Structure 1
Amino acid sequence: MTFGPIPVVLATSGHRDLLDTEIASIREALHIEFTTLRKQYPGTRFQLLNGLAEGADWLIAEIALEHSIELMAVLPMPQAEYEQDFSTPETLAKFRLLLSKAAEVQVAPMPRYLACDPSRDASYQALGICLAQQAQCLYALWDGSTENSLPGGTADVVRLCREGIENEDNPLAQPETCQVRHLRCNRKKNPLAYTAEDASSWAPAITDAAIGTRKCWSEIFQSIEDFNQAAIKIQEAAPHEIVESRQWLTGEANYPSVIESSLQTFAIADALSRSKQKQRSTTLWLLSLLVFLSIFFQQLHLGPDMQWYWLTLHIGFGLIAFASYRAFFSGTRNSEAQYMDWRALAEGLRVQACWQAAGIDECASKYYLSSQNDELGWIRYAIQNITKTGNTALTDCDFPWIKSHWLEDQKKFFLSGGSSAASKQQKVIKWMLYSRFLFFAGGTTTLLLLLKSIASLPSQLLPWLTLLAAILFVLAAICRNHTNLMAYEEDANRYQKMGNLFSRAIIVLDHHIEAGNTESAKSILKFIGKEALAENGEWLLLHRQRKFELPT
């Protein structure tokens, strides 16, 4: 299957009674905006959630289609009922024309607390909530007035986007916010809201830390773009890696197209992260070698053989080490961060695909990295944007496949595989032993130097012993730094915990399946999925805080 780039979801809200005299300038501003988006993020798909109300919604929909942005119609109520809002045959015909151009049509889901309210206001309020929850950027064609705000009106939608909406299923999570791009517009009910100079111009972005600055949103969009560009390259250069990753998760099983997007994006994220992991391992060893050689030649120059070429080699290897470090570890989108982010994305999609196979109509993004409203939020948005809850879960629960390809595979990974808890613990012991041995050897050599008169050491040997002591201490520091950077000890403890949880989940799941309790079995899978998401989030935050440090 060809990969469809992870989309960025836009939304629109605006007045139905825009001034005719401002339409041309509004069109121009939107054309410039969408052209800029396309240039900044050429590998990314854009989708526009649009209620297709008369006025601003129609205007933005037309311009978005001209820029090949997918129109996603989100109606506040079923079409037949919604069409009562259009008072003339001409407006109804235009609504139906735009609706026919939509890539997807859905009715906004009703939140639980509005489910008992049959009014049209409640339906429009549900639409506003849907736009604020699903979009990463809202285009508001708005007069800026908050007086007499109606439920689901533009002012209400802007407020929801800026303040955020609490997660009904995860109330402790940070409310999800949405960037607001406010295009200042006058309307027939308020024709003097803005001067002629300010009308049809973008209002300054609000930079409250609680809702995220425009820079932060740009980083999120850029992270999605970087993944999409990398996905295109690996599909061309190493498609077998994607096939291999997919087979690890699905085996020979085939699934309907409704969950194909999650499976395929998982395979690409997994293949990309494995590629970056290999690059990371090579870079770490290369850096350690370069640092060692630089210090070795420095000590050689300062000690037994003060030749200019040793100093030259010291400086040369030091500069190469610095350049390598900058290339892999520096910058907001460095290769180290991409490896971790793409690994975290793959693990989130693993849970998502397995939930879908179990018939669990939930989006993993609700429970993943929920406290991260910074640039890491792109992982959550990526999962949300490729997952359409409401129609993605399988009708029949494939419990045997889930048990074999998720629970048992993860149990094996955490408890008995090459990266298991026991393996991590062995690596802790091994590298700590190396570090202590080298430190002890360096200390012993230093002691010999201090007792040189008693030990009757030849004077010509002393500079070489000094060099040896320095090198041993450097090697001890490199081993210690490697253990700290790889977080073997912390990973060993977490892997043991997760392995035990997956073992227990298999036992409990079998009991519920044998008893015919399908819903109870689903609840077990949902619980273990949440635990896996929490563990993956902890892994990401732990390793992002660990930086490669030059031994000193």
Structure 2
Amino acid sequence: MSFQFSKEEAKIPLVIGVTGHRDLRVQDKLKLKEGIKSFLKRLQSQYPNTPFIILSPLAEGADTLVAQAALELKEGENIKLIVPLPFEKDKYENTFTDGSSHKKVFEDLLDVADDYFVNPIYKKFLSDNGQYDDYSQDKYYAMLGNYIAKNCHILLALWNGVDNQEVGGTAHVVKSKLYGNTSSETQSPPLTYENKSHTPLEEALDIHDTGIVYWLVTPRNKTALVLGEPFSIKCNYPSYRSHTDREVERLFNDTFKSIDNYNKQLIKLNRIDSNNSSREFLNILHNNGIIEAFKIEAITPSLQTLLHKYFGADNLATYYMKKRRSTLTILAILGILSLAFFSIYGNYSYKWALLSYTVLFTFSCAYYLRRKKSADNYSLDYRALAEGLRIQFFCRFIGLTKNLSDQYLRQRNELQWISYSIQSCNLDTQISKTPSFSISSLKMVLTFFITSQINYFEKKIEKHKKMRKKFNVAIILGFTIAAICVGIIILEEFSGLRFGFKINITHLNTVASVLIITSVGLKALFDKESYDPSTKAYQHMLVIYQEAYEHLSQLLDNINVLQQAINKKNNAETTEALIENLVQQQQAYEEKIQEFIFNLGVESLKENAWWAILHRDKKAEVVKG
């Protein structure tokens, strides 16, 4: 089996959602296209290492114009076009007012699009509420507008600025992006449905999912009213409590810069190839006696794209973790040597003392620069991203297209870029080609996700217990020897007691000082690494995964029993009605399994987010006496 890693596939894209009027004036289209290209070029210059996804439903007018302008700018794979449809393709084409003319343009754009699919919210709505209804098209458009607003990082709106209160219209989508979709003023019945179906009750207090809207002031045929200078572009930021407008702007800029910096680090890192942990992870799919169904043919191209992204994050995390550890080791040695140097020679010569101070100052500057370059934060951020992508992969493998980032780090902070990255990676991996649920895929998830997590947490708990013991022994031993040294110095200097051998008080004092500083440093390092809180969290997750394994194994047994019953349909005693009932029961079990695994993934990501924030914010503190 071969798997060639691609850095281009591993990059994290920025998603540009599109909304706008259908009835554009013919004389304005050239100026609008120039404005669109200018906007996209500006983003490309701001984030030169980052690919872009244009999320456009290709309706007449603005949607199509933006897609055409983006494709004209397309260089290599830097811009992708993904098309979410409000409902089935044939029904959608029948809504075009321009008839066959726009249908031809629509078909041509679909041919060059990287992916297109029916809005998942609409499909869920139909499964719960019956068949498609021509009279509910506005509701379906509202669902699509909500999907675009929720899944894009930046919304580009070709809009005249007038809020006409139309359900599913341009103003509706703009308000959904700026203010979230929980307000009754900006929400249609389908959006309410979507929230109730996918938003757990405990998330009602979460901060609304909002974002940036770039408004290209666009006249339209329907009305002459335009609020703003035609063809100008305005940037609108959402309003956040306890944040000034400037702080909100900086928050989003930092988020996008973090994504671009990640892509830059990915390009620069030469150690990523097919011979490192990437291959090790992929080999898990066919080693250890796994049956033929679990080999590479089970991994579709879209899932392989997700693996590329996981591999990139995993390798960057590993690289910066090693860099972090080596830097800490060097700095610790330098600090101890500086202290010893100062203690030994500081009393003999002013020049030596000055040199000692210089070395100590250099040590402090080096530590500051290490913090400035954020090697610590890179290793933590990239590890959190890798784990999120790994869990998203297993969810996609069993047929789930739901986005785990909806549940991950919903509070706004410096790690928001991770949530954005998981969101765009899921969108960038051809949702339309997600494999359907199968028994073999469930067995693989049980073996290589849940069982591996159980083994991982067991090893981590054992490792942390051993590390705790080693730290305690080292700290106690250091303080004990230091106390002995101090005791000898006191006896030698104050009691008049003389030993049978010559004692160098200066050297003994240096040893005691170094041991005390080292012990204090080890205690600070132990606290910084958060071994005790992490161990408790691992024990909690271990219990969850053990329970999950038992529960899923039982559900799998139930499905196998149903499958055996269905296979006996040729039996004269088995009626078609019974077979249909058995099939429905099996489908219900499959949906229950998918939802269970998704919730398990959510729980894992919450633990992962906690771990990242705990270690990111934890600073080594000297013990105060």
Alignment TM-score, normalising by the size of structure 2: 0.78
> Following TM superposition, by how much is the alpha carbon of 1:180 offset from its aligned partner in structure 2, in angstroms?
0.9
Is the alpha carbon distance of 1:244 and 1:433 closer, same or farther for their aligned partners in structure 2, counting shifts above 3 Å? same
1:29-40 aligned at under 5 Å gives the runs: 29-40=35-46
Supply the distance in 2 between the matched residues of 1:357 and 1:19 (Cα, whole angstroms): 45
- 5+ residue gaps, structure 1, are none
Which secondary structure does the structure 1 equivalent of 2:144 belong to? helix
- The match for 1:128 among 145, 162, 184 is 145
After TM superposition, the structure 1 stretch with the greater mean CA deviation from structure 2, 506-515 or 117-126, is: 506-515
> Following TM superposition, by how much is the alpha carbon of 1:537 offset from its aligned partner in structure 2, in angstroms?
1.5
Matched, 1:538 2:610: yes
Alignment TM-score, normalising by the size of structure 1: 0.87
For 1:208, the aligned partner's letter is S
- The match for 1:149 among 145, 153, 165 is 165
Supply the distance in 2 between the matched residues of 1:193 and 1:526 (Cα, whole angstroms): 45
Is the alpha carbon distance of 1:282 and 1:87 closer, same or farther for their aligned partners in structure 2, counting shifts above 3 Å? same
Other-structure match for 2:581: none
**Is the Cα contact below 8 Å between 1:245 and 1:271 reproduced in 2?**
no
> Following TM superposition, by how much is the alpha carbon of 1:448 offset from its aligned partner in structure 2, in angstroms?
5.2
Supply the distance in 2 between the matched residues of 1:360 and 1:205 (Cα, whole angstroms): 33
- The match for 1:46 among 48, 52, 67 is 52
Matched, 1:161 2:200: no
Other-structure match for 1:265: 309
1:244-263 aligned at under 5 Å gives the runs: 244-247=279-282, 249-252=284-287, 253-254=295-296, 255-263=299-307
Other-structure match for 2:379: 339
Tell me the alpha carbon deviations over residues 135-180 of structure 1, each in whole angstroms, 9 at most, x when there is no partner.
111011222222x221111111011001224664343154322321
For 2:148, the aligned partner's letter is L
Which secondary structure does the structure 1 equivalent of 2:16 belong to? strand
Is the alpha carbon distance of 1:85 and 1:208 closer, same or farther for their aligned partners in structure 2, counting shifts above 3 Å? same
Matched, 1:223 2:258: yes
Other-structure match for 1:349: 389
After TM superposition, the structure 1 stretch with the greater mean CA deviation from structure 2, 73-82 or 207-216, is: 207-216
Supply the distance in 1 between the matched residues of 2:354 and 2:466 (Cα, whole angstroms): 39
Matched, 1:312 2:355: yes
> Following TM superposition, by how much is the alpha carbon of 1:188 offset from its aligned partner in structure 2, in angstroms?
4.1
Matched, 1:529 2:601: yes
Other-structure match for 2:216: 183
**Is the Cα contact below 8 Å between 1:181 and 1:203 reproduced in 2?**
yes
Other-structure match for 2:324: 280
> Following TM superposition, by how much is the alpha carbon of 1:377 offset from its aligned partner in structure 2, in angstroms?
2.2
Supply the distance in 1 between the matched residues of 2:526 and 2:114 (Cα, whole angstroms): 51
Is the alpha carbon distance of 1:35 and 1:242 closer, same or farther for their aligned partners in structure 2, counting shifts above 3 Å? farther
> Following TM superposition, by how much is the alpha carbon of 1:427 offset from its aligned partner in structure 2, in angstroms?
0.9
Which secondary structure does the structure 2 equivalent of 1:52 belong to? coil
Matched, 1:428 2:444: no
**Is the Cα contact below 8 Å between 1:509 and 1:521 reproduced in 2?**
yes
Matched, 1:109 2:120: yes
- The match for 2:84 among 68, 74, 89 is 74
Tell me the alpha carbon deviations over residues 522-552 of structure 1, each in whole angstroms, 9 at most, x when there is no partner.
4553443333222212111111112345789
Question: Structure 1 stretches (4+) deviating beyond 6 angstroms?
Answer: 457-460
> Following TM superposition, by how much is the alpha carbon of 1:413 offset from its aligned partner in structure 2, in angstroms?
1.7
> Following TM superposition, by how much is the alpha carbon of 1:493 offset from its aligned partner in structure 2, in angstroms?
1.7
**CA RMSD, Structure 1 to Structure 2 (Å):** 3.1
Which secondary structure does the structure 1 equivalent of 2:437 belong to? coil
- The match for 1:139 among 151, 156, 169 is 156
Is the alpha carbon distance of 1:32 and 1:396 closer, same or farther for their aligned partners in structure 2, counting shifts above 3 Å? same
Which secondary structure does the structure 1 equivalent of 2:512 belong to? helix
Counting matched residue pairs gives 541
> Following TM superposition, by how much is the alpha carbon of 1:338 offset from its aligned partner in structure 2, in angstroms?
1.6
Other-structure match for 1:375: 414
> Following TM superposition, by how much is the alpha carbon of 1:200 offset from its aligned partner in structure 2, in angstroms?
2.2
- The match for 2:494 among 415, 433, 453 is 453
Q: Quote the sequence identity (%).
A: 26
After TM superposition, the structure 1 stretch with the greater mean CA deviation from structure 2, 92-101 or 478-487, is: 92-101
> Following TM superposition, by how much is the alpha carbon of 1:393 offset from its aligned partner in structure 2, in angstroms?
3.6
Which secondary structure does the structure 1 equivalent of 2:236 belong to? coil
Which secondary structure does the structure 2 equivalent of 1:12 belong to? strand
**Is the Cα contact below 8 Å between 1:143 and 1:186 reproduced in 2?**
yes
Other-structure match for 2:192: none
> Following TM superposition, by how much is the alpha carbon of 1:401 offset from its aligned partner in structure 2, in angstroms?
2.3
> Following TM superposition, by how much is the alpha carbon of 1:285 offset from its aligned partner in structure 2, in angstroms?
0.9
> Following TM superposition, by how much is the alpha carbon of 1:307 offset from its aligned partner in structure 2, in angstroms?
4.4
**Is the Cα contact below 8 Å between 2:211 and 2:237 reproduced in 1?**
no
Is the alpha carbon distance of 1:238 and 1:308 closer, same or farther for their aligned partners in structure 2, counting shifts above 3 Å? farther
Other-structure match for 1:403: 446
**Is the Cα contact below 8 Å between 1:345 and 1:383 reproduced in 2?**
yes
Supply the distance in 2 between the matched residues of 1:533 and 1:455 (Cα, whole angstroms): 64
**Is the Cα contact below 8 Å between 1:9 and 1:137 reproduced in 2?**
yes
Is the alpha carbon distance of 1:460 and 1:379 closer, same or farther for their aligned partners in structure 2, counting shifts above 3 Å? same
Is the alpha carbon distance of 1:133 and 1:523 closer, same or farther for their aligned partners in structure 2, counting shifts above 3 Å? closer
For 1:219, the aligned partner's letter is D
- 5+ residue gaps, structure 2, are 183-194, 288-294, 561-588
Supply the distance in 2 between the matched residues of 1:59 and 1:21 (Cα, whole angstroms): 13
Other-structure match for 2:569: none
Supply the distance in 2 between the matched residues of 1:216 and 1:95 (Cα, whole angstroms): 37
Other-structure match for 1:516: 559
**Is the Cα contact below 8 Å between 1:11 and 1:50 reproduced in 2?**
yes
Which secondary structure does the structure 1 equivalent of 2:198 belong to? coil
Supply the distance in 1 between the matched residues of 2:97 and 2:260 (Cα, whole angstroms): 39
Is the alpha carbon distance of 1:300 and 1:368 closer, same or farther for their aligned partners in structure 2, counting shifts above 3 Å? same
> Following TM superposition, by how much is the alpha carbon of 1:480 offset from its aligned partner in structure 2, in angstroms?
0.9
> Following TM superposition, by how much is the alpha carbon of 1:475 offset from its aligned partner in structure 2, in angstroms?
1.0
Tell me the alpha carbon deviations over residues 384-412 of structure 1, each in whole angstroms, 9 at most, x when there is no partner.
22225564244313233223222222222
> Following TM superposition, by how much is the alpha carbon of 1:18 offset from its aligned partner in structure 2, in angstroms?
4.1
Supply the distance in 1 between the matched residues of 2:230 and 2:286 (Cα, whole angstroms): 58
Supply the distance in 2 between the matched residues of 1:175 and 1:207 (Cα, whole angstroms): 10
> Following TM superposition, by how much is the alpha carbon of 1:508 offset from its aligned partner in structure 2, in angstroms?
3.2
**Is the Cα contact below 8 Å between 1:11 and 1:48 reproduced in 2?**
yes
Which secondary structure does the structure 2 equivalent of 1:516 belong to? helix
Supply the distance in 2 between the matched residues of 1:185 and 1:219 (Cα, whole angstroms): 29
Tell me the alpha carbon deviations over residues 258-309 of structure 1, each in whole angstroms, 9 at most, x when there is no partner.
322222322222222122211111111112112222233333344x433413
Which secondary structure does the structure 2 equivalent of 1:260 belong to? helix
Which secondary structure does the structure 2 equivalent of 1:150 belong to? coil
Which secondary structure does the structure 1 equivalent of 2:234 belong to? coil
Which secondary structure does the structure 1 equivalent of 2:233 belong to? coil
Is the alpha carbon distance of 1:523 and 1:155 closer, same or farther for their aligned partners in structure 2, counting shifts above 3 Å? closer
Other-structure match for 2:582: none
Supply the distance in 2 between the matched residues of 1:21 and 1:526 (Cα, whole angstroms): 49
**Is the Cα contact below 8 Å between 1:414 and 1:496 reproduced in 2?**
yes
Is the alpha carbon distance of 1:530 and 1:109 closer, same or farther for their aligned partners in structure 2, counting shifts above 3 Å? closer
For 2:91, the aligned partner's letter is E
For 1:125, the aligned partner's letter is A
Other-structure match for 1:86: 97
Tell me the alpha carbon deviations over residues 288-339 of structure 1, each in whole angstroms, 9 at most, x when there is no partner.
112222233333344x433413532441353155235413x225xx222121
Tell me the alpha carbon deviations over residues 106-130 of structure 1, each in whole angstroms, 9 at most, x when there is no partner.
2333456787483121121112111
Other-structure match for 2:190: none
Is the alpha carbon distance of 1:187 and 1:223 closer, same or farther for their aligned partners in structure 2, counting shifts above 3 Å? same
Is the alpha carbon distance of 1:50 and 1:358 closer, same or farther for their aligned partners in structure 2, counting shifts above 3 Å? closer
Supply the distance in 1 between the matched residues of 2:314 and 2:34 (Cα, whole angstroms): 42
After TM superposition, the structure 1 stretch with the greater mean CA deviation from structure 2, 180-189 or 447-456, is: 447-456
